[in-house]
Amino acid sequence: MNQIEQLTAMLKESNRIVFFGGAGVSTASGIPDFRSAGGIYNQKLHATFTPEQMVSHSFFVNHTEDFYDFYKDKMVYPDAEPNGCHIALAKLEKMGKCKAVVTQNIDGLHQKAGSEIVFELHGSVLRNFCTKCGKFFDDKYVMACDGVPTCDQCGGLVKPDVVLYEEALDPVQINGAVDAISKADMLIVGGTSLIVYPAAGLIDYFRGKHLVLINKSSTPADSKAELVIHEDIADVMSKAVDAL
């Protein structure tokens, strides 16, 4: 039995599957892995900033215009479409097998593929809000604004509903993810290096039967998993679910 067949067999016998995914899930949709970006030199600021610094809360506050230059160029991909992994998970949910998707991604592609129960640990670029009056705006509004987006109602600064570095994760999303993982009989972890906390610590709540890791490179949790597949996640999930 090869690895795909093993995965299919586990999917067949599991009825409370939870998927926990990271940046590698979106790379097949043409969204680059954020961590692989190099330091970005900003001539206007006469300094070198890492991508992590440029999407921090303090950078947003102190260099709002530069934040938005970077954000619009590197963080929002309006033309991205769901890939084989997103589609396979939506199929599993329709079968009644996948109970939740927990994602570190901010692109909304799981919902676009049809998944309904999605815990977005880091928020979404599709939602933006006025920091003054709270009015919500979609990604199209932000992308269409020249420079820094402001509220069309009160003129306040619009901020993406994305968890920036230095900001706390939303407790509703975290608690939902912990609850789903703790009740799962199968946890599939995919497209994540499992090095960013607190998200990486979520797998410690899993008490079920099958722990599967699908990632191109090895992770600190490989030794804990029953099945480890170092291949493209879109390809692996498509084949495994199609074989059900």
Q: pLDDT digit string (tens) for 132-174?
A: 999 999 999 999 999 999 999 999 999 999 999 999 999 999 9
41 pLDDT higher than 60: no
Q: Where are the domains of the chain?
A: 3-31+81-122+166-242, 34-74, 127-158
Q: pLDDT digit string (tens) for 97-141?
A: 999 999 999 999 999 999 999 999 999 999 999 999 999 999 999
Return the CATH superfamily for domain 3-31+81-122+166-242.
TPP-binding domain (3.40.50.1220)
C-alpha–C-alpha distance, residues 212 and 10, integer Å: 9
Report which of 132, 133, 138, 131 is spatially closest to residue 159, judged by C-alpha positions: 131
C-alpha–C-alpha distance, residues 31 and 86, integer Å: 13
pLDDT at 172 (0 to 100): 96
Helix (H) or strand (E) holding 111: helix 109-113
Report which of 221, 226, 216 is spatially closest to residue 204, judged by C-alpha positions: 221
C-alpha–C-alpha distance, residues 162 and 124, integer Å: 5
Which residue's entry shows tokens 């009056």? Answer: 133
Active site residues: 122
What percent of the chain lies above the pLDDT cut of 90?
A: 84
